[in-house]
């Protein structure tokens, strides 16, 4: 059985600045809901506090497909597994619809991919705005009043509709595209293994090298700036075009 899924989150952590792993592991990151569908079945919704769905209770028995291999599996592992008791899903039981699209020269973005594949699914711009409004936890501060509960609930309903549509879009595009070439699947799993394990680095050495590079750049730039400044000093300009060409004195000598 193939299970298609999508997860909607919120966090104080900046995803673009820190990346998916740091974002998923940040204590402030949480889940609004997860939508999923098995094979041709209807889209279902899990919310924090609900029991683990039966499909996710046996992860080895199914293939779990996400549209973004580099995001949703991190959220699943760091939050659903560690906080809500979901069994871990091995990488071998997961797949990425986005990678299938890229391997077949289709757009990575789900919206553009659906258009290219002539699928009937379209993104709701208002739902996107709702997602951005809900992306950070609500805080009560003196400078910002708490959100209107009715408006927040309306945003959550829009976001839920977006999440359900994304599951349907992922399912439709995944089925319409050919599978990964035989050589690509091992690379996908190796990529997941490296990202899960991380890359060991000598941090003091890297920091020292970074500091040295900055110091060397500044040392080289000082004489360069001084040379540029000296080249910009005003120079005397000739009064006539013949003087500019250096022919004025020669002409005078010829006439004499």
DSSP strands (E only) in the chain: 2-10, 30-38, 44-46, 63-66, 94-96
Q: What is the pLDDT of residue 222?
A: 75
pLDDT score for 201: 83
Q: Is the Cα dihedral 53, 55, 58, 62 positive or negative?
A: negative
- CB neighbours (10 Å) of residue 221? 10
Q: pTM for this one?
A: 0.74
Tell me how far apart the terminal alpha carbons of the chain are, to the nearest angstrom: 105
Among 55, 91, 65, 76, CA closest to 170: 65
Q: Can you give the pLDDT at residue 188? A: 86
* pLDDT string in tens for the chain (256-residue length): 999 999 999 999 999 999 999 999 999 999 999 999 999 999 999 999 999 999 999 999 999 999 988 899 999 999 999 999 999 999 999 999 999 999 999 999 999 999 999 999 988 899 999 999 998 876 644 446 667 889 999 999 999 999 999 999 999 999 999 988 888 889 888 888 887 777 788 889 999 999 999 999 888 887 766 666 665 555 555 555 555 455 554 444 444 4
pLDDT for position 254: 43
Q: What is the DSSP letter of 93?
A: G
């Amino acid at each position: 059985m193939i299970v298609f899924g999508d997860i909607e989150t919120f966090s104080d952590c900046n995803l673009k600045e820190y990346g998916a792993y740091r974002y998923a592991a940040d204590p402030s990151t949480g889940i609004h809901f997860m939508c999923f569908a098995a094979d041709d079945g209807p889209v279902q919704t899990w919310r924090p506090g609900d029991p683990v769905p039966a499909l996710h209770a046996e992860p080895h028995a199914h293939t779990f497909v996400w549209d973004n291999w580099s995001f949703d599996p991190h959220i699943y592992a760091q939050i659903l597994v560690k906080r809500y008791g979901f069994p871990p899903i091995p990488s071998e039981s997961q797949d990425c619809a986005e990678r299938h699209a890229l391997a077949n020269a289709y757009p990575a973005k789900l919206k553009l991919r659906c258009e290219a594949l002539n699928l009937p699914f379209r993104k709701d711009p208002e739902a996107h705005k709702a997602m951005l409004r809900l992306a950070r936890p609500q805080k009560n501060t003196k400078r910002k009043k708490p959100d209107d509960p009715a408006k927040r609930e309306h945003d959550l309903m829009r976001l839920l509709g977006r999440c359900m549509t994304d599951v349907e879009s992922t399912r439709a595009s995944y089925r319409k595209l050919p599978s990964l070439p035989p050589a690509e699947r091992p690379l996908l799993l190796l990529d997941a293994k490296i990202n899960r394990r991380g890359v060991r680095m000598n941090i003091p050495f890297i920091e020292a090298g970074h500091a040295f590079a900055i110091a060397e750049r500044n040392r080289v730039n000082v004489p360069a700036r001084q040379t540029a400044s000296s080249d910009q000093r005003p120079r005397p300009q000739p009064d006539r075009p013949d003087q500019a060409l250096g022919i004025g004195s020669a002409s005078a000598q010829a006439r004499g």
